[in-house]
Structure 1
Amino acid sequence: MKNTTVQAAVAVLLRRFLGLSLAVILSAGMAAADQQTGVVEVEGYATIVADRKDLAREAALQNAFRRAVEQVVGVALESKTVVKDSELLNDKIFSKSKGFIKTYRILGEKVDGDAFRILVFASVSRHKLEQGLDNAGLLIKKMGKPRIAVVVMEQNGFGNAIPGGVVENGLVSSLGKRGYALVDRQAMLAVQHEAVNKQGDQTDAVVRAAAAGGAEIVIVGRATARSTSALSGTNLRPVQVTVTCRAVEVDSGELLATVTATQQALHVNPATATSEAFEKAAAELSEGLQRQMIAAWTKRLTGLRTLRMTVSMIPQTDIKRLQDALKEQVGQIEEVHDRGYRDQQLRLDLEVTGGFREVIDELAALGLEQDSLKIIGYSAGQVQARWQGRPSKGGRVK
């Protein structure tokens, strides 16, 4: 009877322990998810000076705002970036924390010795924060500072569409100021030539040419202008322009952003009015493209994508060793799916996080004892590799 009672008591304690453990795990998971969405619970504190509890309370509230923003920044950026650029973050972000708070609710407050403590449930604006980080050039670092090519076919005064106009120059200038790496003009000549000679939708042709020029992202667009007769009683000529641009990742062919801007301008000279309208359109496009690209990149960094891999010349006996090495050595590979093997050619689907280029760089450095994996090509979410086995004693490859 006594043993039965002890067993029942142990069972109750065990259920309570498991329930508490599960609650801790779930609350940790919810906290991480909340930080992803910008909703956090934080405590702020400040020292009470000269018995001025009102001033200490306000200082504690500002400290809570700062800690809320710090937590969300910790999710948005890599820890090494936060440490390395702490002074820049303090100047551009943390010192202006209140401006990033959408809403907040005070859960509790108290005087604790010579300190005032306040517990706050705050919602941080991810949009404003990402904009602030982008203005500080910090999101570009997380994205790996991709090289960007810009080609916008712009209608000139004779009705011909040519690259290198007002919109293209405006985008290049704006992106350069934000810290993006731009493909130099010399390398862009082939891209622009391809755009001029291609009829209709030139996106695919421009993407291929941009890849040859070293670009990782290409922004391709078309700008048109329409002028009407002068306004009644004046010499002013109204001009309306429409510009559509798309940002495409070269490696995967993925559409990162698409934006259309329509602007108007008035001038006695239609050419001048057209230039002014194109300048305003370029500014609108720059903001829209960057916002969408950052959103796409942020989503990618926290999600999974499929990289299709083909490995030729690999013996069947080495397939498992390669798959194990991929999962153990390449941190961005989450899963490896075998899609078939024929004529010494292996097909794999790699579920990866981050950018394809980073994963491919790690594949090229894969440690396989005396064997090696040589990358022979990659494009549009696919990578081709060749297995290079170690020579046997007879000089033949294993």
Structure 2
Amino acid sequence: MRKGKKWLGILAGVMLFAQTASAQMVTVEGYGPDRGSALRDAERLAVENVIGTFIDSKTLVSQGQVALDEIYAKATGFVRNSTVISEGATADGYKVQATVDVDTNGNSALVNQLTAIMRLNDPRIAVVILDHGQRSDWCEAVINERLIDMGFSHVVDANMVASLQDARLLEHIYSGGTSIHSIGSNFGVDFIVLGKLEMDSDNITIPDFKGGYKNTSLVSGNAEITAKIIRFDTGDIVGTFSEDTSIINNSNKKAEKAALKDLAVKAADKVEAKFKTVAANVNTSVQVIVMAWDYQRVEEVAAALRGISGINNVYIREHNGERAILECDSAQSAQTIANMLRRNRNVSMSVSGISGSTITVMAR
């Protein structure tokens, strides 16, 4: 079968974005020498279409293309269900039109692999765990390692924001008392995983059968973490979680150390799940920061965004007389949207920067 026919099937297929928290329905046409081959072709095309909503293919490099080729080769493994709408023989084989249910659950194999490919356009992430001692270093290291294993290549060393901790500024950010837009710009961070760690240990007692309790040689080490994942450019909270654990040992130091190790792994699991959920959201939120004194210029940029195919729900979230924050839902990457804005000749504006899913526009 010629490749042109295959892509004709994509263009002719009706895209049904009936997305739930765990799947995306896509209707496509598949071709092959027989029915089974045509259905497999349709399933592969459905997976390819879903991947296209995650990744701008123009940004792919060789390593990412190899990863995508492996996904395509195992495409049927990412399909939950296929329903044939119509089928029949053609002059050179068989054609099937089917609705394919592609698994986009945050923990699915497909999303796991797509998350790894996100290194091609991945954000800069900083992990900072607030603690009164040095124990937070372990949690930060474990979470950083997990993010790197997921494929994020721009994981920022916490030492880069050490001065913020010294100034107790992150404490204010955690409690929502400080705007973080300028801080994010200064440190070049797109997301921050900001958590608080608390630890203690208790001697374990048992009943003495005389109406009281007696000490044992065992100690319970207790550790708890609460965290927020924040977009550094806008201050939006994209995820929160809390975890706690208790480990028994024969000394306070050993019990607390074991509890800390266990807690760090649990926290890393939660961070991974949160970022996978973001990756699994087909229509992602794109932030457009407009530098403009005149509110009319902000509205002109908003109108330009609404005129771009594939963009929905453009909102002007904030305008303080100098800058405005626009938010829109789109299946396209920030890079693609920025390119379309650059080509718009009806509005006097220039794209001055792209970071993760945020575009900065000058419209003065």
Q: Structure 2 length normalisation: TM-score?
A: 0.66
1:91-140 Cα distance to aligned partner (Å, 9 max, x none):
2x223323322233345666768856655432111122323211xx2234
Residue of structure 1 equivalent to 2:67: 88
Q: Is 1:175 aligned to residue 147 of structure 2? A: yes
Offset from partner CA, 1:17-65 (integer Å, 9 cap, x none)? xxxxxxxxxx9896242479511234555557xxxxxxx84x5554443
Equivalent residues of 1:183, 1:213 under 8 A apart: no
8 Å contact from structure 1 (residues 152, 163) kept in 2: no
- Over the matched positions of the two proteins, sequence identity in percent amounts to 19
Question: Where does residue 253 of structure 2 map in the other structure?
Answer: 271
Q: Are the counterparts in 1 of residues 349 and 361 from structure 2 also a CA contact under 8 Å?
A: no
The answer to whether the 8 Å contact 2:221/2:259 transfers is yes
Q: 1:72 offset after TM fit, Å?
A: 1.4
Query: What do you get for the CA RMSD once the two structures are aligned?
Result: 5.2
Paired residue secondary structure (2:243): strand
| Aligned twin of 2:127 | 150
Q: 1:246: Cα distance to partner?
A: 0.6
The equivalent position to 2:304 in structure 1, one of 302, 324, 327, is 327
* Counterpart-to-counterpart distance in 2, 1:366 and 1:114: 42
Which residue of 73, 76, 84 corresponds with 1:98? 76
C-alpha distance in structure 1 between counterparts of 2:298 and 2:142, whole Å? 51
Q: Aligned in 2, Cα 1:161/1:79: closer, same or farther, shift over 3 Å?
A: same
1:394 corresponding residue in structure 2: none
Partner residue of 2:160?
187
Specify the structure having the higher radius of gyration (Cα). Answer: 1
Q: Secondary structure at the match of 1:229?
A: strand
Could you say which structure has the higher helix fraction?
1
Q: 1:177 deviation in Å?
A: 2.8
After TM superposition, list the pairs within 5 Å mapping 1:374-393 onto structure 2.
387=364
8 Å contact from structure 1 (residues 219, 246) kept in 2: yes
Q: In the alignment, is the contact (CA less than 8 A) between 1:153 and 1:164 conserved in 2?
A: yes
The reply to whether residue 68 of structure 1 matches residue 42 of structure 2 is no
- Aligned amino acid, residue 39 of structure 1: M
- Write the distance in 2 (CA, Å) between the matches of 1:86 and 1:197: 39
Are positions 1:38 and 2:20 aligned together? no
What is the alpha-carbon distance in structure 2 between the residues aligned to residue 165 and residue 184 of structure 1? Answer: 11
Aligned-partner Cα distance in 1 for 2:229–2:148:
16
Structure 1's unaligned 5+ residue stretches are 1-26, 49-55, 155-159, 376-380, 388-398
Q: Secondary structure at the match of 1:311?
A: coil
**Structure 1 residue matching 2:122: 3-state secondary structure:** coil
Q: 1:162 to 1:115 in 2, by over 3 A?
A: same
TM, length-normalised to structure 1? 0.61
> Matches of 1:200 and 1:305 in 2, distance apart?
20
Q: Which has the higher contact order (CA 8 A, sep 6+)?
A: 2
Structure 2 counterparts to residues 348-387 of structure 1, below 5 A? 350=326, 352=328, 387=364
